[in-house]
Amino acid sequence: MSGDTSFTVLLLMVGVAGIIIELSHPGVSVPGLVGAAALVLGVLGASLPRSTSRPRW
């Protein structure tokens, strides 16, 4: 996983959307699981330092 900010923001948005869907429709576990996993990956991605050694295309 890289420290790319656009991918991190996308993961955080998917995570929040999944949690909101799970809260509005309880009992459907897939959006909650996907949302929780995306939130964890988004937070981990946000905590990684940005790499400046590789070129940004």
Least-confidence region, from 3-7, 9-13, 43-47, 50-54: 50-54
Given a cut of 80, whether residue 56 has pLDDT beyond it is no
Query: What range defines the domain where residue 29 resides?
Result: 5-46
CB 3 within 8 A of CB 51: yes
Query: Is 51 a member of any domain?
Result: no
What is the sign of the dihedral through the CA atoms of 44, 45, 47 and 48?
positive
Query: Is 33 a member of any domain?
Result: yes
Query: Is 35 a member of any domain?
Result: yes
Rounded CA gap, 40 and 38, in Å?
5
Query: Is 56 a member of any domain?
Result: no
Secondary-structure breakdown of the chain: helix, strand, coil percentages, each rounded to the nearest 5: 70, 0, 30
3-40 pLDDT tens trace: 467 888 899 999 999 999 999 988 888 989 999 999 99
Rounded CA gap, 25 and 50, in Å?
37
Query: Is 55 a member of any domain?
Result: no
pLDDT on residue 55: 59
If one counts the domains in the chain, the total is 1
Query: Is 23 a member of any domain?
Result: yes
